[in-house]
Amino acid sequence: RKEVEQDPGPFNVPEGATVAFNCTYSNSASQSFFWYRQDCRKEPKLLMSVYSSGNEDGRFTAQLNRASQYISLLIRDSKLSDSATYLCVVNTYTSGTYKYIFGTGTRLKVLA
C-alpha cells in the first residue's frame, strides 16, 4: 500500500463548479500536511498547508481528519486557471529530520 494515495483523475469540471479531492495517508505519526499545485512540465508549488482545525484561503479549503487519516481539498467557483495537478504531501519529523512523502497527484481540468 502506498504511503500517500490520491485518485489520479482527471477531474473534468465546468467553470464555476465546486470540486473536492481526497488523499489518504498510512503513517499515523505524520505531522504536517500540505497541498501543492503542479502545472504541466513545471515544478510543484505550495498551495496551502493543512491544519487540524481546517483552513481556508480564498476559494480553497483544506481539511484534515487525523482519526481517518485523510486530507481533503475543496475548490469553489473553479477557474480555468485552476487546471493543474494537485499533490497531497505528508511530512514526518523524526530523528531531527523532515521527510516528505508525495502522492502521485490528482489532475484537474476546468472546462470553459
Residues that bind another protein (CB under 8 A): 4, 8, 32, 34, 41-46, 49, 51, 87, 91, 93, 96-100, 102-105
Nearest-approach distance from CB 18 to another protein, in angstroms: 26
d(Cα 55, Cα 29) in Å, to the nearest integer?
21
> In whole angstroms, what is the distance from residue 16 CA to residue 6 CA?
23
Residue 83 vs 85, nearer CB to another protein: 85
CA atoms within 13 A on the CB side of 81: 1
Nearest CB to another protein, comparing residues 72 and 91: 91
